[in-house]
Amino acid sequence: MSTNEVVYISAAAGGVGSFVVQLAKAAGNHVIGSTSRDEKIEYLRAIGCDRPINYKKEDIGAVLKKEYPGGVNIAYDTAGGTTSAALLII
């Protein structure tokens, strides 16, 4: 994993996702992570996620388009579905 990249991780508060969040952050990247609950948002912040997204309250695609107009350099998607679609259209 390179440094200074924008990295998006779905299911970021899960076992694998949280590990990837920490690896991406340790490598010097800006980390975006999606999850389903506010309690998990706090956990993501605690492990270094720069921009946690509660996909039940925020539209992933809209957040990415607005806050990351340059796009995402690396996407680690373990959720599929609408998460994958949002990544493909930015």
Mean pLDDT of all residues in 18-30: 97
| 88 Cβ neighbours under 8 A, 6+ residues apart | none
Length of the chain, in residues = 90
pLDDT of residue 77: 87
> What's the pLDDT band for 79 if we cut at 50, 70, 90?
confident
| 80 Cβ neighbours under 8 A, 6+ residues apart | none
